[in-house]
Amino acid sequence: MQGTDNFHLWAFEHVKSKSGYPELQVNLDRLKTLESVNYRDAFVTTNAIAEELDGVLKTFHDLSPGNPTTKTNYYVRPQMVSAVLALDIALVEPVSSPEVTDQKSLCFESGREIARGSSATIEKLLDEIGKLRTLHQTDLETLKTNEQEHAQLILAIKKKAAEIVQEDIEYLERLNGECALCKRFS
């Protein structure tokens, strides 16, 4: 509904009016509430996972935080947190080089590397990620459910907005309900 003029502001005044588009307003209110709850829950869950992950990583004495010059035995902390949250991780054999032997990488399906170390270390790390996922399974499922509900609400809002633009504005050249501007000019 947003355009180059202030039409979208006028249209939202009609959406907010009690006689305008109450079903759209209900969906907008639900979306606002859901986003607030989802952002809070995602923040709390991610912080809890990050703190627990820090404790787990301290037990891996043969891995260190990665930097651009590290070639072996490292992890990338932000990607480690994402690995607990994601479902698309896999073990891969890194490109072999003369100075690196018996190394495995833990990567996202996109190829972005999460950690690299000996086969035993990476297997153990993958097991620890699985334990953290299991520990937070309920929270992760709630976040996924909220994400799906969010997507459905967005689609419902877009559909209704398209109907308003198509039916009410193009054909009737007016919106349901009243707003301060309509009252001023009527």
Would you kindly state where each structural domain of the chain is located, as residue ranges? 7-185
pTM exceeds 0.85, yes or no = no
107 phi/psi in degrees, rounded to 5? -135, 160
pLDDT at position 1: 47
- Amino acid (one-letter) located at 68: P
Q: What is the CA angle 139-140-142, rounded to 5?
A: 65
pLDDT of 74-106, one tens digit each?
A: 999 998 999 888 866 776 665 555 555 678 888
pLDDT at position 7: 61
Cα(86)–Cα(80) distance, rounded to whole angstroms? 10
Cα(160)–Cα(178) distance, rounded to whole angstroms? 18
pLDDT at position 109: 83
pLDDT at position 163: 78
- Burial tier of 22 (Cβ tally within 10 Å: 0-12, 13-18, 19+): middle
Which segments in the chain show pLDDT lower than 50? 1, 172
141-149, long-range: CB < 8 A, 24+ apart = 142/41, 143/38, 143/41, 143/42, 143/45, 146/34, 146/37, 146/38, 146/41, 147/38, 149/34
pLDDT at position 19: 67
User: Where does residue 95 fall: left (phi above 0), alpha (psi -120 to 50 degrees), or beta otherwise?
Assistant: beta
Question: Cβ atoms within 10 A of the Cβ of 64, count?
Answer: 14
pLDDT at position 181: 66
